[in-house]
């Protein structure tokens, strides 16, 4: 039974097909690796590489044209040797050490074999080129300005300052003809809605005078990237205001002020501007004027901020309403802090004082309520006649009435 099955297998068509394939492979392996005959093989696309390029750079020379980047080679050798050759594991090297001037040169090349292939075991029977022809020109250098642009938006409430590029120029080396086409190097920043200062190292592109890209593999650069900074600052509209110092019956309840301009727009870092809600121009002493005053004040900005509006002063007009004024002669003039060892006499016998307050309170004021005091502390140990600032007091319960303006008295100092 078993023998019949075996006989049937050997007599089948499938058996003969399999047997034929195995026999063919065996014969091929024997011929290829036991007999190992000589065979010929073509290798196309073998890369041309240049050695000793530094020699050209040292001599201020540059290659501007190459006859071929690759070559095709035909080899004759044992099958198990040449079968290892491919265009990825071998190159041809061209030595530039002897190129010392400009011109056209035909240079021989050396075939670099894979490490596991003995060059002596193969014969070169054909080449697509016997030499590599190169054109050599003078190497020139040119300083090129670097420009840049920001292709994107800034977040609301922020402002981008002019782009900063470091270095501002780069040195380009290459053939004179190539350099002549270059006008500037271009850097493009692509970011959207930036809200803080942007910094990065970015590549650049060579451009001609018309803004077209200059593409060349014959150029070298002093550096491959430049430092790009786009300062971003916060922008904020800030109200202008003043402090009111109450006096002579006037305070914020009966005082109105107008500031022109009422606001300015400034820029600065977010940390500074976030908590800045007003700029105080000055403190206005309401006792220094009768009914109204108008003055210009410098707009003083916090450190590290910029005034985008451009106005450096603001006009403040202050108006007091609902109060009356009254002139009164004051003769109660006193001296304070006379220096020990010295005597002081009052030359001024009376002063015309202007008082302000509500009408009903002014009506209650009499000369006996007015007291003028001149402080002589600042005179020290001096003698002579001096004009001294004096302070006017309204005694009694008339706290909502006060003097307007400044007053002086004349005193004479003598040594005891």
DSSP string, 2-47: HHHHHHHHHTSHHHHHHHHHHHHHHHHHIIIIII--EEEEEEEEEE
CB-based contact 174:62 (threshold 8 Å): yes
- CA separation for the pair 32, 24 (Å, rounded): 12
**HEC secondary structure over 150-209:** ECCCECCCEEECCCEEECCEEEEEEEHHHHCCCCEEEEEECCCCECCCEEEEEECEEECC
Q: Average pLDDT of 30-54?
A: 81
The reported pTM is: 0.60
Sorted by sequence, the CB contacts under 8 Å of residue 295 that are 6+ apart come out as 282, 315, 316
Q: What pLDDT does residue 38 have?
A: 86
The 10s digit of each residue's pLDDT in 280-324 is 999 999 999 999 999 999 999 998 899 999 999 999 999 999 999
Q: Average pLDDT of 368-393?
A: 93
pLDDT band at 210 (very low <50, low <70, confident <90, very high): very high
Q: What pLDDT does residue 317 have?
A: 97
Burial of 12 (0-12, 13-18, 19+ CB in 10 A): exposed
Instruction: Take residue 10 and report the two structure tokens written for it.
Output: 């050997």
* CA nearest neighbour of 161 among 267, 299, 7, 283: 267
Instruction: Take residue 367 and report the two structure tokens written for it.
Output: 């000369």
The 10s digit of each residue's pLDDT in 141-188 is 899 999 998 887 888 888 888 999 999 999 998 888 889 999 999 999
Element (H, E) at 271: helix 270-274
CB-based contact 120:76 (threshold 8 Å): no
CB-based contact 172:219 (threshold 8 Å): yes
Question: How high does pLDDT run on average in the chain?
Answer: 89
CA separation, residue 25 to residues 7, 12, 22, 216 (Å): 25, 21, 5, 53
- CA separation for the pair 230, 155 (Å, rounded): 13
> Which residues make beta-bridge pairs with 159?
233
């Amino acid at each position: 039974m078993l023998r019949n099955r075996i006989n049937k297998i050997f007599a089948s068509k499938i058996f003969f097909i399999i047997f034929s394939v195995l026999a063919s492979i065996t014969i091929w392996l024997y011929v290829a690796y036991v007999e190992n005959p000589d065979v010929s093989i073509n290798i196309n696309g073998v890369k041309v590489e240049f050695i000793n390029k530094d020699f050209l750079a040292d001599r201020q020379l540059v290659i501007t044209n190459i006859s071929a980047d690759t070559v095709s080679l035909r080899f004759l050798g044992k099958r198990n040797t040449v079968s290892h050759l491919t265009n990825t594991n071998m190159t041809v090297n061209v030595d530039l050490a002897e190129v010392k001037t400009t011109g056209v040169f035909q240079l021989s090349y050396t075939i670099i074999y894979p490490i596991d292939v003995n060059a002596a075991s193969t014969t070169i029977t054909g080449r697509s080129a016997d030499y590599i022809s190169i054109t050599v020109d003078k190497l020139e250098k040119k300083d090129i300005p670097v420009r840049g642009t920001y292709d994107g938006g800034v977040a609301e409430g922020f402002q981008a300052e002019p782009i900063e590029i470091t270095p501002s120029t780069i040195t380009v080396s290459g053939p004179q003809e190539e350099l002549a086409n270059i006008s500037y190097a271009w850097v493009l920043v692509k970011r959207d809605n930036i809200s803080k200062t942007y910094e990065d190292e970015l590549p650049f592109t060579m451009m001609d005078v018309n803004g077209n890209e200059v593409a060349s593999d014959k150029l070298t650069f002093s550096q491959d990237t430049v430092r790009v900074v786009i300062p971003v600052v916060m922008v904020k509209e800030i109200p202008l205001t003043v402090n009111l110092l109450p006096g002579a019956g006037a305070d914020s309840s009966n005082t109105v002020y107008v500031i022109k301009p009422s606001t300015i727009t400034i820029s600065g870092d977010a940390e500074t501007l976030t908590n800045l809600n007003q700029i105080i121009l000055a403190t206005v002493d309401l006792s220094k004027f009768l009914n109204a005053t108008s003055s210009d004040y410098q707009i003083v900005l916090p450190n590290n901020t910029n005034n985008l509006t451009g106005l450096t002063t603001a006009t403040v007009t202050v108006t007091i309403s609902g109060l009356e004024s009254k002139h009164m002669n004051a003769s109660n003039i006193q001296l304070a802090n006379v220096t020990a060892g010295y005597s002081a006499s009052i030359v001024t016998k009376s002063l015309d004082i202007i008082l302000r307050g509500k009408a009903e309170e002014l009506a209650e004021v009499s000369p006996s309520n007015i007291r003028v005091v001149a402080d002589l502390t600042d005179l020290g140990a001096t003698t002579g006649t001096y004009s001294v600032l004096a302070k006017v007091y309204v005694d009694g319960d008339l706290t909502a009435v006060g003097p307007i303006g400044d007053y002086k008295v004349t005193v004479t100092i003598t040594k005891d």
